[in-house]
Amino acid sequence: MAKRPLVISVLSLLFITIGIVGIIRQIPEFKTAQPLPSDAIWVLLVSFIAIVCGAFMLRGKNWARWLTLAWMLFHVVISLLHSPKQVVVHAVIFVLIAYALLRAEARDYFSATNQRT
């Protein structure tokens, strides 16, 4: 079994944290909105997906690595609706995450843990 690279642990915990914070930030929407706005539902869904990504990357699931990349790419696309600065920031973050998740050491970790399940 391959040892989990530190960068995978850090990214996983970061995504879990981002997801939890995203859900907590939506709690006031539940209290004030009747009915719940659809954008709040989308934020909750995206936050939940971030938690799933982080949790299953910790377990070495290869599909979670790809879902994480898709999650971040989604943010790059959404940022196109906002300022050019947000596009650049999200694109740089995407490239850094992609680099971390597609390196040989990460690839070895995800393929080794998938072989034992």
Q: Consecutive sets of 10 residues in the chain, 117 residues long: mean pLDDT of each? A: 89 97 85 69 92 97 96 94 94 97 94 66
Domain annotation covers residue 51: yes
Domain annotation covers residue 1: no
Q: Report yes or no: 56 and 64 within 8 Å, Cβ to Cβ.
A: yes
Domain count, the chain: 1
Exposure string for 13-43, b = 16+ CB within 10 A, e = fewer: eebbebbeebbeebeeeeeeeeeeeeebeeb
Give the residue numbers spanning the domain of 79: 6-115
pLDDT of residue 28: 79
- pTM of the predicted model as reported, rounded to 2 decimal places: 0.87
Domain annotation covers residue 54: yes
pLDDT of residue 84: 93
| Residue 101: C-alpha distances to residues 3, 51, 67 (Å) | 15, 17, 11
Domain annotation covers residue 55: yes
